[in-house]
Amino acid sequence: MSRPTGRPSAAAPAPRAATPATALRAPAPGWAIEADVVVVGSGVAGLTVALRCAAAGARVTVVTKARLDDGSTRWAQGGIAAALGEGDTPEQHLDDTLVAGAGLCDERAVRTLVTEGPDAVRRLIATGARFDADDDTGEILLTREGGHHRRRIAHAGGDATGAEISRALVEAVRAAGIDTVENALVLDLLKDGAGRTAGVTLHVMGEGRRDGVGAVRAGAVVLATGGMGQIFSATTNPAVSTGDGVALALRAGAEVSDLEFVQFHPTVLWLGPEAEGQQPLVSEAVRGEGAHLVDADGVRFMRGQHELAELAPRDIVAKGIMRRMRERGAEHMYLDARHFGAEMWERRFPTILAACRTHGIDPVTEPIPVAPAAHYASGGVRTDLRGRTTVPGLYACGEVACTGVHGANRLASNSLLEGLVFAERIAEDITEGIAEGVTEDITEGIAAGAEPAGAAGRTEGPDERTGPSDPHATDTPGALGSPAGAPLLASEARYEIQHIMTHGAGVLRSAESLARAADRLDRVHDDAAAQLRRDGKTAEPGVETWEATNLHLVARVLVAAALRREETRGCHWREDRPERDDAVWRRHLLVTLRPDGALDVRSTDSEAFPPPTTPRAETESRP
């Protein structure tokens, strides 16, 4: 049985260049390289795919926005969850994940995660990752985090798990001699004339053997670009997390889902009301080891709100903190772990201890001021259980993907495991296709003139995509782009977008705040489009303007979905719709980008994802 990697076979139709529609404005590529697989991102998901594909003999190129060892994975403090401990089982892990996901997990995806997870972690250890272990027995030390009923979180360096996993994978990639392109922002997907993936365009920052705008031509593209936390003013995400993968996928015609479910980590170090950008995280593992959430009077306010108190799922703890802040008129709450003592802080949480002390707070002697901040996107580019999106040859893995594992709220420390498990599945899918000989070398089948693909050639109207049979469907108005009229946003728009999203689509949302956010986001675009029509000018192509434009697109999708979902579920909290409504809303919202830049929003029939199918437009002829 063949596995569709997206590379054309000898019998494929003659390739034609895709017509760019909503593609980013950018210079034509000045250089190109060829590969079987291009992986975009260098976290646990991306590097695992690269290693497995390379081991099977595929030519792999890894493209990363910063340095190879600078992926989002290295910021992960808590650990990686898997049923490794005595008495623990995948079934128990599954139960905890389903509860945290608030009725929207795809159980098939969760079962895949928890059953394949333990062996995937063991393979990670074989790759070179060193987890904290008992000095006498050598057994991996396991801790507990929010939403878990058992100790099943493996950690490294106390609170530096992500850094250790990143170190091991980066060393393995370098030892394998895998081609890497660092300091490169991916721009758009390349497609051949049949609508199949043909590679990516990218911009390499700085000077060197490859610089400026270029292309990597490959029949399989794996998006592992991480998150989109920079759409908010305060986030735990690094500055590079600007939603580039989700934006690329949308412009390529792929479906995204569950983008309204942004997890706000409950305990982020509060640095003052004006703090912006990346904020220090105080890991859930601190609460797992016995720290208490208290208000200014020392009252443990999470007691009575959930059976697990401070160890309830993150959405519940974040809401508990926000409610207490509103009741007390406070800007933050406190995390009290003074009873740990200096030795435990220094041994178990050295990174967090150092971060707190850098900002003038000593957790050994005083409570830590904390407040929720944007942390993780539970949704993303929709995939099946092999990581395949609705665009042939385009895969997604890690935070950029929506596999159905997380539902409406991610269970703590499931993210690294998801990246690991589904990366292995993607690599298997790609390499099986190569081994079975169902595809030709990419250079034999893809036209040299392949162009960046927006949503070109899609002819479905709103009635076909969002017909009256779907009561949850909407056609978001506004022609925001065309081949001649899609502006780039100025770099300053980034801060305006962050302000709009923080105040309109943050932890607390309502129909009024979301509608206001949607209107203000439209005005940001309209002002740039008006200048383009009037003066024929748009912002100069460059990293900051591409990032701002990506943030704007992702923000629009998030707001459209959040406005449409008229309930409170998981980490989507509607003040005007405070109850969960399973009868109407136990289903997912799917969003696609039309060629004119408008959004199509429709719903699934249930909490299970239908199998991704190639959008009809991807196989239709183009002008």
- The Cβ-side half-sphere exposure at 125, using a 13 Å CA radius, reads 17
Q: How many Cα atoms are found within 13 Å in the side-chain-facing hemisphere of 478?
A: 17
Report for 142-151, 153-162, 458-467, 587-596: range of highest mean pLDDT: 587-596
CA 610 to chain centre: 20
Ranges 53-62, 293-302, 451-460: which has the least confidence: 451-460
pLDDT of residue 444 exceeding 50, the answer is no
Residue pair 101/376 in contact (Cβ under 8 Å)? The answer is no
Three-state secondary-structure class, residue 343: helix
How far are the Cα atoms of 82, 89, 91 from residue 94, in angstroms, in the given order? 10, 9, 5
Chain-wide mean pLDDT for the chain? 86
CA gap 284, 4 in Å, rounded: 40
Token pair in block for residue 266: 């409950």
Cα separation values, 343 from 235, 338, 348, Å: 29, 11, 8
Cα(267)–Cα(96) distance, rounded to whole angstroms? Answer: 21
pLDDT: which is higher, 310 or 207: 310
pTM: 0.87
Rounded CA-CA distance 578/318 in Å is 15
* C-alpha–C-alpha distance, residues 13 and 7, integer Å: 12
Contact 216, 38 (CB under 8 A): yes
Q: Which residues pair with 572 in a beta bridge?
A: 569
Kindly report, residue by residue over 83-92, the tens digit of the pLDDT.
999 999 999 9
Amino acid at 276: E
Kindly report, residue by residue over 363-412, the tens digit of the pLDDT. Answer: 999 999 999 999 999 999 999 999 999 999 999 999 999 999 999 999 98
Cross-strand pairs, 452 = 190
**Dist. CA 229–CA 236, nearest whole Å:** 7
The answer to whether 314 is a known catalytic residue is yes
- To the nearest 10°, report the CA torsion of 369, 158, 149, 587: 70
Q: Which ranges of 107-261 would DSSP assign to H, the alpha helix?
A: 107-127, 161-176, 244-251
pLDDT (average), residues 167-188: 97
Distance CA 423, CA 39 (A): 11
Instruction: Give the per-residue pLDDT at 52.
Output: 97
Q: Would you tell me how many other CB atoms lie within 10 Å of the CB of residue 263?
A: 26
For residue 158, pLDDT over 50 is answered with yes
> Which SS3 state, helix, strand or coil, does residue 391 take?
coil
The tokens of 191 are what? 């497609």
- 181-239 residue pLDDT tens: 999 999 999 999 999 999 999 999 976 567 899 999 999 999 999 999 999 998 999 89
Which candidate in 167, 251, 287, 314 is catalytic?
A: 314
Most confident of 68-82, 195-209, 292-306: 292-306
Burial tier of 444 (Cβ tally within 10 Å: 0-12, 13-18, 19+): exposed
3-state SS of 354-378 is: HHHHHCCCCCCCCCEEEEEEEEEEC
Confidence (pLDDT) at 73: 84
What type of residue is 353? Answer: L
Position 468 confidence tier, pLDDT thresholds 50, 70, 90 = very low
Q: What are phi and psi of 126, to 5 degrees?
A: -65, -25
- Pairwise CA distance, residues 445 & 12, whole Å: 8
- pLDDT of the residue at 209: 66
Reported as a pLDDT band with limits 50, 70 and 90, residue 609 is: confident
